[in-house]
Amino acid sequence: MKYCLNCDWSTSATDEPSASVRSRAAIAHHVETGHTIDSSEGVVPPRIPDLPDAVFVGDLLPSSD
Ligand SMILES: [Zn+2]
């Protein structure tokens, strides 16, 4: 599917079976609104994993040996 990062606009194979039509619709939305369109292979927008901060901190710290 393609979806807008600025509003709730989106289009997917469920709405429009033609990928080229979806692409044109996404470009049209961008041109008309200036919004940013992103796309994903799935049918819903991807979610950032809800990981605890400690995971990221641990990855950034140098090893202590
Ligand atoms: Zn939009």
Q: Output the CA–CA distances (angstroms, integers) from residue 59 to 19, 47, 62, 63, in the order listed.
A: 39, 21, 8, 9
How many angstroms separate the alpha carbon of residue 49 from the centre of ligand 1?
Answer: 24
pTM of the model: 0.61
Length of the chain, please?
65
**Closest Cα to residue 7, out of 28, 41, 34, 40?**
34
- Please compute the mean of the pLDDT values over residues 37-53 and round it to a whole number: 68
CA distances from 19 to 23, 41, 56, 62, 65 (A): 6, 12, 37, 45, 52
Provide the pLDDT confidence category of residue 21 given band limits of 50, 70 and 90. very high
Q: How far is the CA of 37 from the centre of ligand 1 (A)?
A: 7
Place 45 in a pLDDT band, splitting at 50, 70 and 90.
Answer: low
